[in-house]
Every structure is written in C-alpha cells, then in structure tokens.
Copies of this chain bind each other. A is one copy, B any other.
Amino acid sequence: MKEVGYFFDIKRVASLIKLLRARKVLIQLPEGLKRYAINIVKELEKFLPKGVIVFISGEKAYGACDIAFEEAKMLKADLIIHYGHTPRYYPGEDIPVLYISAFSNLTLSEKLCNKLVKVLNEANIKRVGVTAVIQHSPLHKELRSILRKHGFNVYIGRGYGVPDGIVIGCNYTSAMSINDLVDAHIIIAGGLFHGLGLRIATGKKVYVLDPYRDDIIDIEKEYRRVYALSISHILRASKAKVFGIIVCLKSGQFNIKTALKIKQRIVEHGRKAIILTMRDITWDKLLSFPSIEVFVNTGCPRLALDDRGVMKIPIIAPHELEFILERRDIAGYQMRI
C-alpha cells in the first residue's frame, strides 16, 4: 500500500464555519478517514474562534445517505461537515450540510497505466467508459488523455443525482448513460465495492484501477461469489413463514412506504411479517430475532449484496421477493442495484 494523504480543505472549512457563524459543528468522516479526526480538529481549531465546539461523529458513515441530522439536533449543532462522499441534497432539513470531497493525493503510476493499456489491448477492447469515486475524480482527465493517446475511444457519462463520471455505491447512472457505447468500464476506486456495483449495474466487463494497490482488479470472481450468495439466500428464504421487514433509519435510506406495501403482500400470501427499524443493520442486531426466518431490507440496496457473507440468516432485497412469494423461476434471477 502506498502512503496516502487526503485534502481536508481546512482553511476553507474554517472560513465557512466563521461565515455561517456556526458555534457547534459536527464532523462526519467515512471509516477510512476517521483516523485523521485528531489532526482535522487540531488544524481547524487553529483557525476558529475560541468558543466554537467541534464534535466528531463516532457513528459509521457509509455515504451521503447517512447524514447525521438526528445527532446534530441532539447536539444543537448548527452545521454538519460531511467528508468523503458525493453530495446529496436534503430539502426540508434545517441544518446545513457542508460536503467536502477529501480528494486523495494518489496518482496513477505509469506502470499502472501501461498495464491497463496492455490488458485492454489483449482483450481487444476499443471503447471504454471511465468513472471514478469522488476521492479520485481529479484523476479522470489524466486517464482519459492517456487512453486517448493510445487510441481508445473514451467516454465519460452524464450522472443523474451524481456528478458526471462519478459513481457511488448505489448510483451508476454516469456509467449507464454511456453503457451502449462501450465495450468495458474502467473505474478508479480502492477495493472491490464500487467496481462490483458497476459490474452489476452495467452488465459489462469492469476493470478496477486501484491507486492504493497500484494494480488492476478484475471484478468477475467477486461478482460470481456475490451472485452465488444471492441465489443461496433466495433459495433458503423460499420456504420462510416469518418475515422481518427492515426500515433503515438513515436519512437517505428511510423507506416506510415500501415496507408497508411489502408487509401487506407477505400477509396476503399467508405468511407472517413484522416491521423492524434499525440504523446500521448488523448481524448481531438481527441475531436478537431468532424467530424471523428471512429479512427483507428496504434500506441500502448494497447490504443484501455485499453483507450476505456475514449474515447467517437469509437477507433479501424487495425485488427478490417474487422468487419467494410467487415462486418465479430462479433461473431468471439477476442482481439489481
């Protein structure tokens, strides 16, 4: 792993805090950036008037679907600073949210770019889509020009609810908008998570350019693992009599209408269902309900895909219910985000 730094934009954040005359500020950091909390607070406090109180949220922050409005209200905070996720707009919320991208200082090595060109040529791929997660979005242009120089047709798509060329865990519109034009997608992102989502959403070949590992990850193995787990959970759930429908309490995942519809549908099929409310959906919380045979999650669409490996009880997405209630042929199953 390379030494990594992130751009926390301290001076701008401090001026905005002063401009907004905020007295209590709540900072949210993704898991990977929480290790910088001490330094962020130390640096910020240098620029802030004495009376300003800075809190760091110790809760998990997996995305802009999880803005700590409730926490901020309890703390009487007048500003939320959310680091490291693509912004999302919340009309109707009183507390302003300042999104800071936390761009990574990692670059694409020449070695990595050459390897990519070689891999693409060997696979006879000519037309590629390029996407990135927000941290690495400054690398977009560079990669595009390198690939064009090597004769590839490069497309960067329009995002709907996300900036152009940017993806988040549950939104691949910037890849979908060019999906018909390309043979494969390239994504600049650390780890498997976003590459897997891109593979599921587009159905095309995906190459993950990981600037942390300085390597290309082929996502197919992970895709097949997750597909097998999905089938296994659906089949295991097919005889379930007792359903737990989860309503996620996170600001951008709260979906009570779907939960109520699902409950009615399950009851109409002669099975039992209760609605459970949760923030983070973790295995130890589900374990407390041993009589529930299958969980239906109306929150994050990634949970039933990525976390099935650790969930010992079947957990399914709403669209997967038809394979259980209406016994649709599992051969027709496709993962969805």
Contacts and interface: CB of A to CB of B under 8 A. Distances in A.
Interface of A: 26, 31, 34-35, 37-38, 41-42, 53-60, 70-71, 73-75, 242, 246-247, 249, 254, 256, 260, 272, 274-279, 281, 285-286, 288-292
Contacts of A249: 70-71, 74
A26 B58 contact: no
Given A75-B256, A292-B38, A56 B275 contact: yes
Given A289-B34, A289-B35, A291-B38, A74 B254 contact: yes
A60 B53 CA distance: 29
A276 to B, nearest CB: 4
Nearest to A68: B277
A272 B37 CA distance: 12
Given A56-B276, A277-B58, A278-B59, A37 B256 contact: no
B53 A275 contact: yes
A320 B38 CA distance: 22
A254 B75 CA distance: 9
A56 B260 contact: no
A288 B31 contact: yes
- 3 smallest A-B Cβ distances: which pairs? A58-B278, A58-B276, A34-B288
A55 B275 CA distance: 5
B26 A277 contact: yes
Contacts of A54: 274-275
A31 B60 CA distance: 22
A110 B75 CA distance: 52
A108 to B, nearest CB: 28
Contact of A74 (B70, B272, B290): B70
A118 B26 CA distance: 58
Nearest to A267: B45
Contact of A277 (B31, B57, B275, B285): B57
A42 to B, nearest CB: 7
A37 B272 CA distance: 12
Nearest to A295: B58
A37 B256 CA distance: 19
Contacts of A277: 26, 55-59, 71, 74-75
